Amino acid sequence: MPIPLLAEGFGRGLSNIPYVWAVAKGAAIAGVVALLKLYFGGAKCRSERVMHGKVVMVTGGTSGIGAAVVQELAKRGAQIILLTHHAPSDPFLVDYIEDMRTITNNELIYAEQVDLSSLHSIRLFATKWVDNAPPRRLDMVILCANVMTPYFGTPQETLDGLEAEWMINYLSTFHLLSILSPAIRAQPPDRDVRILFSTCSSYIGGNLDFEATNKASKAGSTSYSRSKLAVMTFAYAFQKHLDAYKRPDKELNNARSFIIDPGYCRTPGTRRWLSGGLIWGLFLYLITWPLWWLVLKSPIQGAQSYLLAAMDAEYGRGAGGKLIKECRQYEPLRLEVKKEEVAKKLWEFSEKQIENLEMIGAKRRAAAKKETAQNKSADKTVPNGASSGGKSEPVPGSRRSRKAAK
């Protein structure tokens, strides 16, 4: 069929071929869409690394980019420890881990319950990890947990009284790594340890307003950009903290931190933000989904820079503290993230904020524990069915009740 059509076109002209211009227009449109999709899809990680025996701790690893990173590393044999808000016995988490083990053919995927919105929960997990002797193996920490309040949404507040974006996006990272720091520095000198932080371009418009972090903010985008700016500042400071440590074996520091910007992706968080947290917003998002499919990356495309930082041999030697975007190294557009005085102020503020909130939380838990103990004590001293005068009512069917009936 195509040969006669081509012969007809060459012999009598293209205009004599049926629907030739419609086909040409369709092919041109398809070609443009394919080129745009390829462009917006971003760079692809070409690096490979043997991950068998590597222990990788991941936050935010059950959805979005975090889930894509977990799946790719697990396929390469890494042992994954998921830090999740859900208990390991939660049906959703059990099914998720079983599915992930089946897909990756890797049984070394586990979960630990850590509520990143609770300073107390983070401390319980991290101190338990650090107290282990000898130190547990830890090759990588990937921090993908992230929350963003939709523009029309109501700002969330944690149990400690902090805005959720500041707590989950930044302060939980600071608290976790501050406690895990001895375990990271205690790893053998021949072990390649990497810490991957998450950021996005919104940090450019951020402002480290420390007073605003003590209460829930109405400006979701403002608090989100502030948390990302704080993450980047802490990442560079944490690398200096690791480099300043003098190992007992006189070896050089073998832990390196990297900041990853995955770009704009079609994750549940992005969908929630685009829809504004509203039903009609979600309906509008579904109508315009072809546009978002074209210009936004899929989670696996957004995971490519994480995979490069996790596996590329180049990042296993030399200095750490690098920003990676589109599988390339970049310099931050906000130069103050590297300034020592800014990092010192942020570090001191974070430590004091955690100290004050943990003190308040400890008093609250002690009061709740005391109240629970008093209630249990009262239940034991007062028999079931006893009256306020100390005399219990006769139980139906007992000898006292039958006697009273007479």
Q: Using an 8 Å Cβ cutoff, are 323 and 329 in contact?
A: yes
Cα-to-chain-centroid distance, residue 403 = 68
Q: Mention every residue, 6+ apart, whose C-beta is less than 8 A from residue 352.
A: none
DSSP secondary structure letters along 257-294: EEEEE--SB--HHHHHHHTTTSHHHHHHHHHTHHHHHH
Nearest by Cα to 62 from 24, 98, 106: 98
> How many Å is the Cα radius of gyration of the chain?
28
Q: How far is CA 312 from CA 177, 191, 210, 235, 343, in A?
A: 23, 15, 36, 19, 28
**Catalytically annotated residues:** 228
Spatial distance between the Cα atoms of 35 and 346, rounded to a whole number of angstroms:
43
Q: Tokens 């010192």 — which residue?
A: 344
